[in-house]
Amino acid sequence: MSKNFSIYIVLWLLIQLLIEINCQTATLIDDKLYIVDGRNFNKKFIYLDVSIPFNTQNILWHELTTIVPEHVAAASVKGGANNKTLFLYGGTAYNGAVMALVYAFNTQNNSWSIPKLPEGIIMRRDNLKGIVDDKGLMYLFGGRLDGVRYNDMFILDTINLDVKIGSSINAPSPRSLYGAALLSNHFIIYLGGLGNDGVKASLKKVNLYDTINNSWSTQITSGTIPSDRYALSAVLGLDGQRIIIFGGIGLQDSLYVLDIINYEWQLPKTTGKSPSSRRWHQANVIGKYMVISFGYDPNIENDILLLDISNNEEFVWTNEFELMFITTDPSPPNGTSTAGTLSISSMIGISIGSLVGGILLLFGGFFLYKWNKNKQLLLRA
């Protein structure tokens, strides 16, 4: 088979209901949301093309058939010199398999490699969240190893392939399964989690890590404080002024908003059909949506949820993923942003070009797949 056709290693499959995806990581690279199954018995590795609209009831998943290292509960981010590489860190080896601490998946040629990193500085952890900054530094706080939780800050430079240890002074107590998000001021916010005593962390306070100064601080919160929880997700709102959390274990309500100007919690107003809560899922901001993927139980949490977060006055649960057109409106949104006037540079640019490209790719892929299938049939005949 010709090497030029790296597209061959992508199987184009229409999967309505996926089985056995759980504890996954979800990483947005260009127009693709890559899902690596975190309980990787089946070595599932799929992606969703977000350059085309979709309905969550009928999702076209693309399955990558490259071998994914076996692992449970790893962390992943987008990084590398080209900013197009998926870095998969830690996780527990499944079934005693030997695995590297870090793997890199090059999305340009769909291949995994083991980056050469200095050894013996950072250690393996699982059930933690990776946060990457705009310099390609992957921040890995806390997590667990062999049932013990930690509060170290490991920093993996995905561009220079270096590692270092950050500060633990004033860090949160050891924990796993917290929610975390990068703020626009280079701080990372950490919320909730599970401690060594089995106690769920309170959301009456949140922890902030300053990625510039390598220092920790704490913020006391007010308002409608969520119940203590872990295995939740957290994203930064489109205006950069609020954190939206969803799901987890230990819930009263599943969806909350934390205003990060005054650190006040609110129950947001939503319309649309509220989904039941979930845990061990992932959340990414794509266009105007908080995209929630999978979860712990592959039987019931085996799909994508979409929350339109473009209007802070009213979030909308929806099944329809629509494309966003970026306007050149120079005035930044000031809290009551609406779709269509957003001018957020970090938002993925989804253009008519990529729409057409996506459709062409889709057809191209389909025909290549058909062609390959026919060829296989011919070969077998």
Q: Decide whether 92 or 337 has the Cβ nearer to ligand NAG.
A: 337
What are the beta bridge partners of residue 148?
145
- In DSSP notation, 140-206 reads EE--EETTEE---EEEEETTTTEEEE---TTPPPS-BS-EEEE-TTSEEEEE--B-TTSPBPPSSEE
**Separation of alpha carbons 125 and 348, rounded Å:** 30
Q: What is the DSSP letter of 348?
A: -
- Minimum CB separation of residue 304 from ligand NAG in Å reads 20
| Nearest residue to ligand NAG, by Cβ distance, number only | 134
Do 126 and 73 touch, CB atoms closer than 8 A? yes
Integer Cα distance of 246 and 360 in angstroms: 35
Binding site for ligand NAG (CB under 6 A): 83, 106, 109, 111, 134-136, 210, 212-213, 215, 334-336, 346
Q: How many CB atoms lie within 10 A of CB 379?
A: 7
State the nearest-atom distance from the C-beta of 258 to ligand NAG, in Å.
17
**Nearest distance from C-beta of residue 106 to ligand NAG, angstroms:** 5
- Residue 125's Cβ-count burial label (10 Å; 0-12, 13-18, 19+) is buried
Length of the chain: 381
Tokens found for residue 362:
């889709």
The backbone torsions φ and ψ at residue 186, rounded to the nearest 5 degrees and listed phi first, read: 70, 15
Minimum CB distance to ligand NAG smaller for 299 or for 334: 334
Among 346, 234, 250, smallest CA distance to 283 is for 234
Residue 354 CB contacts under 8 Å (≥ 6 apart), including other chains:
31, 51
Q: At closest approach, how far in Å is the CB of 174 from ligand NAG?
A: 22
Cα–Cα distance list, 295 to 39, 274, 305, 313 (Å): 11, 16, 11, 27
Based on its alpha-carbon atoms, the radius of gyration of the chain, rounded to whole angstroms, reads 20
Residue 225 neighbours by CB under 8 Å, 6+ apart: 203, 204, 265
Report the residue number, 138 or 231, with the smaller CB distance to ligand NAG: 138
Instruction: For residues 257 and 269, give the distance between their C-alpha atoms in angstroms, rounded to a whole number.
Output: 10
Report the nearest approach of ligand NAG to the CB of residue 215 (Å). Answer: 4
* Pick 300 or 332: Cβ nearer ligand NAG: 332
Q: Between 106 and 219, name the residue whose CB sits nearer to ligand NAG.
A: 106
**Among residues 4 and 276, whose Cβ is nearest to ligand NAG?**
4
Q: What is the smallest separation between the CB atom of 338 and ligand NAG, expressed in angstroms?
A: 11
Least separation in angstroms between CB 264 and ligand NAG: 15
Q: Which residue lies nearer to ligand NAG by CB, 16 or 185?
A: 185
CB 88, min distance to ligand NAG, A: 16
Instruction: Provide, rounded to whole angstroms, the least separation between the CB of residue 217 and ligand NAG.
Output: 7
**Nearest CB to ligand NAG, comparing residues 2 and 336:** 336
Between 118 and 335, name the residue whose CB sits nearer to ligand NAG: 335
Q: Which is nearer to ligand NAG, 45 or 280 (CB)?
A: 45
CB of 95 to ligand NAG, least distance (A): 26
